[in-house]
Amino acid sequence: MKYFKYLFFIMVLASASSCKKFLDTKPSDFLAPETFYATDAQLISALAAVYDPLGWETMYGNNLFSNLTIATDESFWNRSAQTTGTQVYSFDYAHADVSGLWAACYTGIERANILIANINKPEMDETKRQDILGQALFLRGYYYFLLASNFGGAPLKLVPQPSVSDAQYINVPRSSVNDVYTQVLKDLTDAEGKLNSIVSNNNAEAISKTAVQGILARVCLTMAGSPVNDASKYAEALSWAKKVQSSGMHSLNTTYDASLTNSAYSQIFITALRDEYNLKESMWEIGFYGNRISDSYVEGGRVGNTVGLAFSPSVNSPDSIGYCYGFVNITKRQYLRYGNGDLRRDWAIAPFRYNNAAPFAKVNWTTSTIYNRNVGKWRRSYEKLTPKHKNYTPTNFQILRYADVLLMLAEAENEVNGPTSTAYDALNEVRRRAYGVSLTASNATADATLGMNKDAFRTFIQEERSRELCFEGLRKGDLIRWGLFVSRLNEIGNEIANDATNPSFKWGGLAGKNVTERDLLLPIPSTEMSVNKAITAADQNAGW
């Protein structure tokens, strides 16, 4: 990770993504709390270890924007031979993607618990201590949010594991999903009062005060919808989103490098691909670093490599393009969501492919080849670091953008007060940037139609979130909280299979056809059920 790359202790703490080494055994090089947490530098290195699981391939290194979330009404898995797996909703509770996400969350939680328990040991600047504590609290809460939103109820563990054989710690029953969310809100609100601003951090990888506020808006919207259905949380989501807006720390990107692109929207992703920050727009990122070739770091992710513009040349890949599997194609419904003049479409959805034989020319798609198109947001040709690894990139994954906050604000305002000017203003700010016009002046082409009622505005927001945030790992959760996931995926499955304009990708509807009510949650993994005697078959999620 770029921000933490100089913290050499992370290499000891996180050495094997080894929850085995770190959690399950007492290795000879174990860093005892009584000796390790003696300085502020050691606290910071321990904090880096708490962040570390977020970058594993089981999380934002790949699966949380790919395998576990990509089959929606936006996109489908582009492999005809893939008839089983999480990508097509044909798997069981022993699948590695399921156990990997669960284990990564609990590794992060345990590391956060250890840091929180030892936070007061060193003599140090108190403001700095509180910021470290705030980050650790946030991360623990965020890991529990991932558990609650993906698995439902989960065991709550809030103190470090006393020993590897402590049965009382291992055999912890599932808490209800409501209790887990209560803990998430507590950790995140406690963190919000302790954290630095993003300007003070001077990077988007360390969580900041406004980023927590934005994530709190996301958590509250999730709780307001299905399956929790706590409608009171709409008002809380609105409050948190407004705090971000009123902070003055963030704004939509409106500039771009004309030598690289033609829109401020595409510049957001080019900036990330070029290993740079945009602190105004990009509020929280998972940091990746290096190429695993010319450096000793193993911190590269797969942004742009699994989901991106396919390029698999018959000879060695030129560094000007970069290898990509192109595992994901877009749905016709996603393509048709964009209006004429919306600059987001031909960036988010690649309008061309690469010829895999020299000279590797671009070949434009036609209007009859919609299902052939890859996701285009992360194009490895913009990476600056060379040589380019075949499978790993240094590109950060953006978890929270200011555009998302504005759309959450508009959605929550509509639910609380109806489609007021506040809701329209936030929505239209995003849309005006999409059409390349002034953010502050009315525009007949870009602006949403006036006079919508609450239901119509809700539907418009649901579509706008897809236009703006597609392929960023959010659509599945959005569809679930809106109560649309199963019906929408079933629709998409039939659309793809029966579309007369789609002669080549009819198998792309497999995920949609496979989805049932059980897929609203992942199963409690077999790895947990085999060791945790407090969770029995009767505790498993419905349908699994």
Note the pLDDT of residue 298: 86
Least confident of 144-148, 302-306, 498-502: 498-502
Cis peptide before 227 (omega within 30 of 0): yes
- The tens digit of pLDDT for each residue in 161-190 reads 988 778 888 999 999 999 999 999 999 999
List, in sequence order, the alpha helices (H) in 483-522.
485-498, 510-514
Name 76's bridge partners.
329
Instruction: Give the model's confidence band at 292: pLDDT under 50 very low, under 70 low, under 90 confident, else very high.
Output: confident
User: Between these two residues, 489 and 296, which has the higher pLDDT value?
Assistant: 489
Per DSSP, which regions of 405-533 are E strands?
A: none
DSSP state of 329: E
Note the pLDDT of residue 488: 98
Note the pLDDT of residue 68: 98
Which H, E and C letters describe 232-278, residue by residue? CHHHHHHHHHHHHHHHCCCCCCCCCCCCCCCCHHHHHHHHHHCCCCC
Q: Evaluate whether 188 touches 233 at the Cβ level (below 8 Å).
A: no
- The tens digit of pLDDT for each residue in 22-54 reads 223 333 334 566 668 999 999 999 999 999 999
CA distance 302 to 392: 5
Does residue 19 surpass a pLDDT of 80? no
384-394 mean pLDDT? 94
Least confident of 17-26, 29-38, 447-456, 511-520: 17-26
CA distance 237 to 254: 26
Tokens of 394: 């240094």
Please, what is the average pLDDT of the chain?
93
Instruction: Give the model's confidence band at 4: pLDDT under 50 very low, under 70 low, under 90 confident, else very high.
Output: low
Nearest Cα neighbor of 409 from 393, 394, 432, 426 is: 426
DSSP 96-136: HHHHHHHHHHHHHHHHHHHHHHTTTSS---HHHHHHHHHHH
Note the pLDDT of residue 100: 98
Q: Provide CB contacts within 8 A for 425, sequence distance 6+.
A: none
Note the pLDDT of residue 13: 38
* Phi and psi, residue 301, nearest 5°: -110, -165
Note the pLDDT of residue 315: 67
- The tens digit of pLDDT for each residue in 187-225 reads 999 999 999 999 999 999 999 999 999 999 999 999 999
- The tens digit of pLDDT for each residue in 358-381 reads 889 999 999 999 999 999 999 999
Note the pLDDT of residue 358: 86
Does residue 6 surpass a pLDDT of 50? no
Tokens of 169: 């710690």
How many residues does the structure list for the chain?
Answer: 544
Share of the chain above pLDDT 90, in %: 87
Name 354's bridge partners.
362
Instruction: Give the model's confidence band at 110: pLDDT under 50 very low, under 70 low, under 90 confident, else very high.
Output: very high
- The tens digit of pLDDT for each residue in 49-86 reads 999 999 999 999 999 999 999 999 999 999 999 999 99
Q: Provide CB contacts within 8 A for 272, sequence distance 6+.
A: 278, 282, 285, 303, 378, 395, 396, 398
Q: Tokens 């740079």: give the residue.
A: 276
Instruction: Give the model's confidence band at 20: pLDDT under 50 very low, under 70 low, under 90 confident, else very high.
Output: very low
Note the pLDDT of residue 32: 63
Instruction: Please list, residue by residue across 302-322, b when 16 or more beta carbons sit within 10 angstroms of its beta carbon and e when fewer do.
Output: bbbbbbbbbbeeeeebbeebb
CA torsion 416-420-422-426 (nearest 10°) is 90
Note the pLDDT of residue 291: 87
Instruction: Please list, residue by residue across 83-116, b when 16 or more beta carbons sit within 10 angstroms of its beta carbon and e when fewer do.
Output: eebbbbbbbebebbbbbbbbbbbbbbbbbbbbbb
User: Angle CA(513)–CA(78)–CA(466) in degrees, nearest 5?
Assistant: 75
Tokens of 86: 């999480």
489-494 mean pLDDT? 97
Does residue 398 surpass a pLDDT of 70? yes
